[in-house]
Amino acid sequence: MRLRTARALAGAYLILFLIGTTWPGVLVASRIHPFVLGLPFSFFWYAAWIAFSLPVLYLLDRVERRYRDQRDGGQDR
Amino acid sequence: MTRWVMVTIIIGIYLVANLVIGLMAGRRSSKSVTGFVAADRNFGLLIMYFVTGATIFSSFAFLGAPGWAYSRGAAAFYILAYGVLGMVPLYWMGPRIAALGRRLGHVTQAQLISGRFPSRTLSALIAAVSVAAFIPYITLQIEGAGIVINSVTDGHIPLWLGGLLAYGIVVVYVLVSGVSAVGWTNTFQGVFMVVIAWALGIYLPFHLYGGIGPMFERIAQARPELLVPPGLTSTGTHWGWGAFSSYILISVVGFLMWPHLFMKAYTAKDDDTLRRTVILFPTFQFFLIPILLIGFSGVLFPQAPADPDSILPFLILRTQLPSLVVGLFCAGALAASMSTGDALLHASASILVEDGIAPFTRMSDRARRRLMRWLVLVTGAVAYWLAQTNTSSLVQLLASAYGIIAQLAPAVFAALYWRRATTAGVLSGLVAGMLTTELFRLYPAFAPFGIHEGILGLLVQIPVLVAVSLLTRPQRQEHLDAFFPAGSAQTR
């Protein structure tokens, strides 16, 4: 994946995270049922945004790292 | 042996362990300001991971956050929302801040801002605001430590003594070892906090309701309004979307701007360490999930504590837990309090000297370091004294601090990413933003849709910063070259 694509995808995820957890995005999740993993849907919704940020940030870091290695290795950008 | 004696012994062992770790930590760092404030820029990934996580989660994690879930329900989800979003900008900003720090000798946030925008007024203003925000924050940590020790020993250790013991130890290790002590003790404290939170967050729902799902089924039947965002206000009426959403937004913006967290960017060993700290942060943020489960587990408990914030100690003492577990819980809660308190104490002394006093005088490295140590003691004593007096007004002060601290964000972004910004622009923007924030805090009725005053401050500050910068003369090219190394694209 190219650096630009990776940053765009990670940025898109984070913007969706913000929209999805604040008004008006959160309205779609502002309910109790269905329960997921024992949590009411609203609680699960917030937990899931944190959980998915882990793989997203990991992938972003892999692409950023490969790009830095190609360029020269470890200068500040 | 009665429970409180056993619990007191465990707390004693825990506090001594902290003291030993804190005192050992400083033996390797240099006897300079950089050693005291930035640990010679030598923290590895393990310490950075825990120092950021444990610094962020204060005694609020074991007292306030379960209290929110217990009394305000889904309103507490706002605490889940902002951490990761607030932290991510550090992935790109952190290495730049650290590189400038190495090249220009910065160890504080104000040095970065007033280095790019030379003004002693700016430096002193940031120092004053930071310390004004820190003192109530430290005071509440001391008070939290006192409350926890007092409640688990059934009142045998009075509030004043509990706070004095815990923070006497913090002052000693910060004074002797500086930020190295903060790093190593926070690693120890961070492990404690996370393990205890998960253990209790799973144990209490299972013990009281037979599981997490069954617990929420029962809450959904009895108190459904608690499970639907934006939840309730502290008086039990429905909270507004404007307030809920703007609390998240201001917390995202203000998150990294807390100087005690921002300054940790200068302590990392290298850029990769800093970046990985950010990438791993969501795993620490998960720790809030069991914390909220603890709060929810109190909702249908037959009795209620006098103050929602003490729901956790209240439940612990009424669920026949073995004294060992009660003692360990107390250590976990103390860990949360002390790991934030030590970073705050250290940062306020460092900032007072580096940004409030040093720019106005000529002081040697040694004299500055010695003064910092004195100020650790003085700040600790002032906060301790305040903790013994009335603290309800401090909660108010701290609530306003987030809005004020967030006002530093445009200055930091301008320093790092906008060449055309000028000293006059940043200074006037900052003053305008802070005045607006304070105005709407004093007269909240005027804030549209209950929007957080800090957001309104930013809405005023940003246009002022941009307009005044464009109207004043650009900074000299040679000056800018030091901040924007040749060849790097300056779009971010």
Residue-wise pLDDT tens digits, A4-51: 999 999 999 999 999 999 988 899 989 998 999 999 999 999 999 999
Nearest chain A alpha carbon to B205: A38
Predicted confidence (pLDDT) at residue B307 exceeds the cutoff of 60? yes
Measured CA to CA, the distance from residue B39 to residue B47 in angstroms comes to 11
Rounded to an integer, the average pLDDT of B440-469 is: 91
Residue B51 belongs to domain with CATH number: 1.20.1730.10
Measured CA to CA, the distance from residue B49 to residue B274 in angstroms comes to 9
User: Do B484 and B490 touch, CB atoms closer than 8 A?
Assistant: yes
Predicted confidence (pLDDT) at residue A72 exceeds the cutoff of 80? no
- In the chain, the amino acid numbered B365 is D
> Who's near B300: CB < 8 A, 6+ residues apart?
B209, B218, B219, B222, B223
**B386 and B427 part of one domain:** no
Q: Is residue B402 part of a domain?
A: no
List residues bridging with B232 in a β-sheet: B238
Q: What is the CA radius of gyration of chain A?
A: 16
Measured CA to CA, the distance from residue B84 to residue B288 in angstroms comes to 12
Comparing C-alpha atoms, which of B312, B291, B294, B295 is closest to residue B71?
B295
Could you tell me the pLDDT band of residue B74, with boundaries at 50, 70 and 90?
very high
**B191 and B327 part of one domain:** yes
For B325, the token pair is 């577990």
**B240 and B373 part of one domain:** yes
Collect all residues of chain A within an 8 Å Cβ-Cβ radius of residue B485: 76
For B259, the token pair is 């100087």
For B471-482, b where at least 16 C-beta lie within 10 A, e where not — what string? Answer: eeeebeeeeeee
Rounded to an integer, the average pLDDT of B172-178 is: 87
Cis check: omega of the bond before A24, within 30 degrees of 0? yes
- Considering its fold, how many domains does chain B have in total? 2
Rounded to an integer, the average pLDDT of B5-19 is: 90
Could you tell me the pLDDT band of residue B380, with boundaries at 50, 70 and 90?
very high
Where residue B154 falls (left for φ over 0; alpha for ψ -120 to 50; beta otherwise) is: left
Measured CA to CA, the distance from residue B36 to residue B277 in angstroms comes to 22
Test A76 with B84 for CB contact under 8 angstroms.
Answer: no
Q: Tell me the nearest-neighbour CA distance from B452 into chain A, angstroms.
A: 14
User: Do B102 and B41 touch, CB atoms closer than 8 A?
Assistant: yes
Residue at which a domain ends, from B365, B393, B421: B393
For B140, the token pair is 């509440």
Collect all residues of chain A within an 8 Å Cβ-Cβ radius of residue B232: none
**B154 and B193 part of one domain:** yes
Q: What is the DSSP string of B429-489?
A: HHHHHHHHHHHHHH-GGGSGGG--HHHHHHHHHHHHHHHHHHHSPPPPHHHHHHHS-TTS-
Cα–Cα–Cα angle for B145, B70, B210, nearest 5°?
A: 105
Task: Tell me the residues of chain B between 234 and 253 that have a Cβ less than 8 Å away from chain A.
Answer: 241-242, 244-245, 248-249, 252
Q: Which ipTM did the prediction report?
A: 0.90
Per-domain boundaries in chain A:
3-70
For B281, the token pair is 């942060």
Residue A75: the pLDDT is 52
Q: Could you count the other beta carbons within 10 Å of the beta carbon of residue B459? A: 12
Predicted confidence (pLDDT) at residue A76 exceeds the cutoff of 80? no
Task: Tell me the residues of chain B between 456 and 485 that have a Cβ less than 8 Å away from chain A.
Answer: 485
Q: Tokens 């800093």 appear where?
A: B274
**B131 and B235 part of one domain:** yes
Residue B491: the pLDDT is 42
For B309, the token pair is 């914030």
Could you tell me the pLDDT band of residue B308, with boundaries at 50, 70 and 90?
confident
Q: Is residue B401 part of a domain?
A: no
**B377 and B421 part of one domain:** no
Test B80 with A46 for CB contact under 8 angstroms.
Answer: yes
Comparing C-alpha atoms, which of B170, B345, B338 is closest to residue B260?
B345
Q: Tell me the nearest-neighbour CA distance from A5 into chain B, angstroms.
A: 16
B461: three-class secondary structure by DSSP: helix
**B74 and B99 part of one domain:** yes
Q: Tell me the nearest-neighbour CA distance from A70 into chain B, angstroms.
A: 15
Predicted confidence (pLDDT) at residue B242 exceeds the cutoff of 80? yes
Residue B389: C-alpha distances to residues B126, B160, B393 (Å):
27, 10, 10
Backbone φ and ψ for B402, nearest 5 degrees, come out as -60, -45
What secondary structure letter does DSSP report for B225? G
- In the chain, the amino acid numbered A27 is L
B157: three-class secondary structure by DSSP: coil
In SS3 terms, A19-74 reads as HHHCCCHHHHHCCCCCCECCECHHHHHHHHHHHHHHHHHHHHHHHHHHHHHHHCCC
Range of the domain at B348: 3-393
Backbone φ and ψ for B268, nearest 5 degrees, come out as -70, 145
Could you tell me the pLDDT band of residue B488, with boundaries at 50, 70 and 90?
low
**B118 and B233 part of one domain:** yes
**B205 and B279 part of one domain:** yes
Residue at which a domain ends, from B362, B393, B424: B393
Residue at which a domain ends, from B359, B393, B427: B393
Residue A45: the pLDDT is 96
Q: Which of B108-112, B133-137, B275-279 has the lowest mean pLDDT?
A: B133-137
Comparing C-alpha atoms, which of B338, B356, B385 is closest to residue B136?
B385
To the nearest whole number, what is the mean pLDDT of chain B? 89
Q: Is residue B398 part of a domain?
A: no
**B480 and B387 part of one domain:** no
In tens, the pLDDT along B399-420 reads: 678 888 999 999 999 999 999 9
Test A40 with B227 for CB contact under 8 angstroms.
Answer: yes
Measured CA to CA, the distance from residue B280 to residue B258 in angstroms comes to 20
Test B279 with A58 for CB contact under 8 angstroms.
Answer: yes
Comparing C-alpha atoms, which of B156, B142, B141 is closest to residue B2?
B156
Residue B489: the pLDDT is 47
**B437 and B492 part of one domain:** yes
Test A53 with B283 for CB contact under 8 angstroms.
Answer: no
Predicted confidence (pLDDT) at residue B492 exceeds the cutoff of 50? no
Q: Which of B24-28, B42-46, B78-82, B456-460 has the lowest mean pLDDT?
A: B24-28
Comparing C-alpha atoms, which of A60, A47, A57 is closest to residue B81?
A47
For B127, the token pair is 């120092």
Q: Is residue B322 part of a domain?
A: yes
**B302 and B424 part of one domain:** no
Number of A to B CB contacts under 8 A, please give it. Answer: 105
